[in-house]
Amino acid sequence: MPNYIKYVSASTGQTAMLAEIDEEICAYLGVEVDPVKWCYGWFDSIGLLHSMGKSQDEILAVLAPTPTDSMSDIYGLAQLCSITNYLHAFYTPRAWYMFKG
């Protein structure tokens, strides 16, 4: 069953383009926009969890570092937590799914 996600801007009420959200996130974190990859892979992780109907708190719990994580993993997880909080502050995720068949 396919999952779908879109992000609605809290300020305009309009669906935002994912590439524009990615540019905002990059500016927020002070990193350069990659023309191919999502900033810290946010859409592949956070976007997937949102499409599954997970809340901000549930996503932050999934992203919580563990004692066995390396320092680079902990840094990446912290960045993903910042992105989760950014999305929560400025967007509302709208998830839905469709049955095939």
Return per-residue pLDDT of the chain as tens, 101 residues.
567 899 999 999 999 999 999 999 999 999 999 999 999 999 999 999 999 889 999 999 999 988 898 998 999 999 999 999 999 999 999 987 766 66
Helices (H), 1-101: 18-29, 42, 48-51, 56-63, 71-90
pTM: 0.90
Helices (H), 30-70: 42, 48-51, 56-63
Structure tokens that stand for 60 in this block: 């932050």
Task: For residue 93, give its domain range.
Answer: 3-97
Domain count across the chain: 1
Q: What is the pLDDT of residue 4?
A: 87
